[in-house]
Amino acid sequence: MEQILANGVYLGSQYAMIALGLTLIFALMNVLNFAHGQMYVIGGFVTYTFYGQWGVPFVLALVMSCVTLAILGALIEKFLFAPVIKGSAREESTMLLAAGIAFFLDAVILLVFGEKQRGVPKIVDGVFNWDFRIIMPYDRILICLLAILSIVAFIGLMQYTKTGRALRALAQDRTAAQLMGVNVDRYSMIGFALGAMLAGLVGGLLVTITGVNLGMGGPTSIKAFMMVMIGGAGVISGAIWGGIILGFMEAIGLALLYQYGDITYLLIFVSLMIFLAIRPQGLMGKPWG
């Protein structure tokens, strides 16, 4: 049981990080960013290149992932999403654009980083072993702590800074925020950059554990969407809860149901369908959006 809890906390923290950026972008712009997984992959590859290949200290490589993705996110918002949102009232326009960006980024990743699985040296050696009741490598513990710290820092930024207040205002009511003097265009770009940066950050963190490869983008996006749907689309706390719930469901399912084959995700999807049928707005979302 202790091992299940430890695995659940670890998986939940990394999943929550992945979902945060996605839900932030949705909250600010009503955009389902299908390219979120690809941004996560690019973040992993940037850290791989700086830390794994060029020997740059890990923290600096992580910063480079964040900066790269923030710039990429800002450019995507300014030159792609912003014009489409202004020019089309149809929501599917941004969905198609996001899907197109995902395919494009996949192609770029293949061209620049190749088809192989990549990994980096461990940032911490050794394994924590509590009498075989909990076995957890130290690097996973460290990454879990860093993920939790990042989530706390993000919440702090959103709650206590001028930028955070502007972003929250934008998420609550775009028109009202504009009337109150919030520069909507500027903060939309900042918000998208922040969401992309979170994808880059978690990609950079997790490349030390899971490695990274070209094909991770799509499945990562799907998982992120599941977490957001569980927690409630566009709600920060919902994304965190969604991540934690999915992490624990996965840990419990893999530990207790393995003898029945790979039915963990089958049950998770069934549970999600039933849950959404009862509560379509998710745990923390509001029925009116």
- Give the binding site for another protein (CB under 8 A): 3, 7, 10-11, 14, 45, 49, 52-53, 106, 110-122, 127, 129, 132, 135-137, 140, 206, 209-211, 213-216, 218-220, 250-251, 254-255, 258-262, 265
- Report the alpha-carbon angle 55-60-63, nearest 5: 135
CB of 142 to another protein, least distance (A): 14
Choose between 129 and 183: whose C-beta lies nearer to another protein. 129
Token duo for residue 83: 């014009």
CB of 75 to another protein, least distance (A): 18
Choose between 89 and 111: whose C-beta lies nearer to another protein. 111
State the CB neighbour count (10 A cutoff) for residue 181: 8
Contact indicator for 153, 240 with CB cutoff of 8 Å? no
CB of 258 to another protein, least distance (A): 5
The SS3 assignment for 130 reads strand
Cα 122 from Cα 228, distance rounded (Å): 30
CB of 97 to another protein, least distance (A): 20
CB of 52 to another protein, least distance (A): 7
Question: Number of C-alpha atoms within 13 angstroms, CB side, residue 79?
Answer: 7
Choose between 101 and 167: whose C-beta lies nearer to another protein. 101
Q: Which amino acid is at 67?
A: V
Contact indicator for 138, 10 with CB cutoff of 8 Å? no
Choose between 121 and 156: whose C-beta lies nearer to another protein. 121
